Amino acid sequence: MIADVKESLGEIKRLAIKEAWKIMQVVIGELVVTIEKIGTDLSSKEKKELAMNLLSGFYDSVFKAVDLPFIPNVFEPLFHSYVKKFVMGLASAGIDAIVTTFREVGVFLKKKVDANPYDPQTLEVQYAK
C-alpha cells in the first residue's frame, strides 16, 4: 500500500493536509478490514493498537515530505511532529467510527462465542465473507 501511494503521488512535492487526511482515511478503512480479517485471535484493544502502529509507520513512510503551505519550509520540521500527533488522534477516532459503522451496516458479522457457546455475554466480531 505504501508503494502504491508513493507511486500515485509521483513528483508531487506539495500535499495539503486535507489530501493527506483523505489518503489516511482510505488506509484506515483498508487496515481495519484487513486486521479484522486476519487478526481473529486478537482482542479489540490489540487490533486497534496494531492499526495505530501500522498507521504511524505509514504516515512516516509517506508523509515526511508533506508541505505545510502556511509554514515557511525552514520551520516545517518543528511542526511535522505536531501535525502527526493531530492526524493520529483523528485516526484513532476514525478507527472507532469505522468499526462501529462496519458493525452497524453488516460488513462485520456479529457472532457469539465463549467456552459456553450459548452464553450471550460474549461477542466477537468477524469479517463477513
pLDDT at 129: 46
pLDDT at 56: 92
**How many folded domains does the chain comprise?**
1
pLDDT at 63: 77
Regions of the chain with pLDDT less than 50:
11, 111-115, 122-123, 125-129
pLDDT at 12: 53
| Residue-number span of the structural domain to which 53 is assigned | 2-127
pLDDT at 17: 65
Distances 127 to 12, 13, 34, 99, 103 between C-alpha atoms, Å: 36, 38, 9, 11, 9
Which residues are within 8 A (CB) of 36 and not within 5 positions of it... i.e. 6 or more apart? Answer: 47, 99, 102, 108, 125, 126, 127
Neighbours of 120 (CB within 10 A): 8
pLDDT at 96: 92
pLDDT at 78: 79
